[in-house]
Structure 1
Amino acid sequence: MIQLHEVFGVGRGVPRYTYVDRSGLDARFNYLLGTERHIVVHGASKQGKSCLRRKNLNEANCIIVQCSPEMSNKNLWQNALRQLNACMTSSESETKQIGGSIGGHIQSDLNAFIIKSEGKLESTISSNSENNRVKSYVSGKEDDLDFLSAELKKHKKRLVLEDFHYLSESFRRKVAFDLKALYELGIYVIVIGIWSEQNLLTYYNGDLTGRIEEININWNGPELDEVLQKGEKTLNIEFSKELKKSLIESSFQNVGLLQRTAEKLCFTNGILTTQKAKQILIPDEMLQSAITQVIADIGQRYTRICEVFVKGFRSDTKLRIYYKIFRVLTKIDERYLINGTPYDMLLKMVQEESTEEVRPSDLTQCLDRIERLQATRQITPLLVSYNKNLKLLALMDREFLFFRKHGSVDWEELVPE
């Protein structure tokens, strides 16, 4: 019998019963796998980026590197080499030992006219040599990439960089140049991360133009409705039209949030497995109960994020711009969170929150480091990301909209003046 958690909810694997191939992404991804191009999959959190990769590329055929804020250019590629169980000889020495023994006895008799002697002599000489090789995983640049590419080809593996957004911007820029080198070596990498802007890697390295294909993961209403329809069929239930509308609107076009709310709703209604007789669900207090449960699950995260933005970096203690940015996020119209907040609008609102002058350069400096602030404080996934090309502050975590709308939090108390 099919269990509820197999149908709705958030998990690591590919949804067995509610997977939706939206806009032909499966066919596109599979086509790109056969091209001589890097593939970049990006978008907001919990939108199915890694799921798309798992659905269409067997993990047994991949070397998956999970990026982290602490990573350097050295250990990024070393991580891949360790998974390939690959190492190179970094030093070699040879030690020779020579040994032996001589033994025996000699007996002689001497008289005036006759000398008689008898003896026995034994000798043993041995020679031993030992080669000492010290092997280590590669570190460095071009030589490492040559070796890495050879190992990937030998093992027939595809390299995947997950959570690319956690790397610092300066490091992401270095990786963009390494990707160009890997391209020339015939290695085509899959890069997955949370950011909104198109052509991020080509922005870092223009030589990647034409060598990268991007997939921006988004969901629309009909696609989310299809997720619910598949779940209905599997569990033998029916969401009323009004209830479906409420579920989709509450998800803010985020499939992960839709899955969580639908699971809580079914659980609250006692639907834990496929129903023998069709059950029809209508919007009532059960929906509000499901929403309240989701809020309880995610509430601590946003309290923590608030604390991070209130403290900011030590250099920000006077103007407290990060703190003021978070205040703006709690007040601004949701359409600007969904579509991105323009720099000029953000500057004006931050200045309105300040008693001291905030110059454009002050805000720009903070926005340039806003991802680093979150990553170094273990904010996973990122709440916001700044698009330098479009000069937009983009919300990467749609659950914040859900929490802002349905949570009974007093933002003025949580984020004091």
Structure 2
Amino acid sequence: MKFRLALAFFIAVSVPTANSVTPIKVSATTPATTFSLGSNSSIVKSIYTSSGVVLVGTIGETSNQKLVSGNGLGKTDGFIGKIAQNGALIWGSRLGGGLEDIATSVIADTDNTFWVLGASESSVALTIAETNVIVINPDSITVLKETNQNLGLLTVNIWHISAKGELIETIKYQSVTPIMPRDLAISPDGLVIVGDLMVANGRVGQVLFCNLANVCNVITKIGARDTSLRGILRNQDGTYFLIGKSADPILKTKLVGVVDGVILTLNSKGVLQSLVRSSLHKTSRSWESVSDSYLLGGFAQSTKISEATITQFNQRTKPLWSIRISATTSAFTAGNSAILMSKGGIPRLTNWKPKSATLLFLEFDNKGAIKAVRSISNGRSPVSISYQRAIGYSIISETGVENEYSVTFVPSTVK
């Protein structure tokens, strides 16, 4: 008989608090470039490379934009594009088919190619009686009409893109109920995908494995009716580190807040091993972002607070330090830094009392001390932050102009 040890921890007030050792002054930074995507379009993820910034998202059918060329493939298309630091387009590609397609995440491999995660709408042909036309029909023969009924996002797509932006192959998984893939990790023999599967009374977290022969299988489902998986890392020992949120009991742990942030570990075969709950009484919490250094970004909201949460973990899900900042959005992380919309003062930031929510970049050392802070002008909402070693950070944000995005570059001060 095999016994599995399931560990559950609650992150409470015992987590060390991050602070600056010395007072830090906030300096203002101006975006390097801005561009418009048009209506029904969005950017969701970015990768900072030595030769430019790779952007992934969704473009509407009639979107007036310059990231990708050509006519739309469907109502919406996934896309991947690469821009230089001055905003010039290097290459761009549409992804999808004739219906609705979205792109939700991207990861680069050691060959400098990209794996773009997304989903496609499915439809079924229905034959129905024609009721809105008048015909001469003396034999009382029913006039039939064929139409398509859309079934929602049922197909998971993984588009493999070359370093020059060309489609190499597409891996597909067909679900029987709507699915929202959110993030992916590369394994030695394929890809591991996390996301949400819609069920009759809500949603559960789902983990898929797809090999390079285009065969995908469900590894595990997590939760019962209110669990969402938002991100994944593959640990050096072959296990997996997952983040998200849940109101379900998992591994015999019970809900503490309205919704708890959750951190889960899977073994190399995808079996759920442990769970950490990040909880506050009468508060909804979630983890939305995880960097390669296990710096997590999330959000906490109740009738009394609205805070971005940033916590440094180790691979074994032990919290090392944490900071909560009055904010209107989640924190998003990369490397040892985070971005968020700050709406109040922060200890040891000498000149920071924003009159309205302002986009802020914070860089920490390995003990949680704030080492550098930048306010980013005209930033309305953070979208993505990515890190290039020895260069620094690229920050994607929405601006105050409808459908417009900006790219800001910030050098790293922590070596």
TM-score by length of 2: 0.23
**Which one has a larger percent helix, Structure 1 or Structure 2?**
1
User: Could you state the TM-score of these two structures normalised by the residue count of structure 1?
Assistant: 0.23
Structure with a larger share of its residues in strand: 2
Q: Which structure has the higher relative contact order (CA within 8 Å, separation 6+)?
A: 1
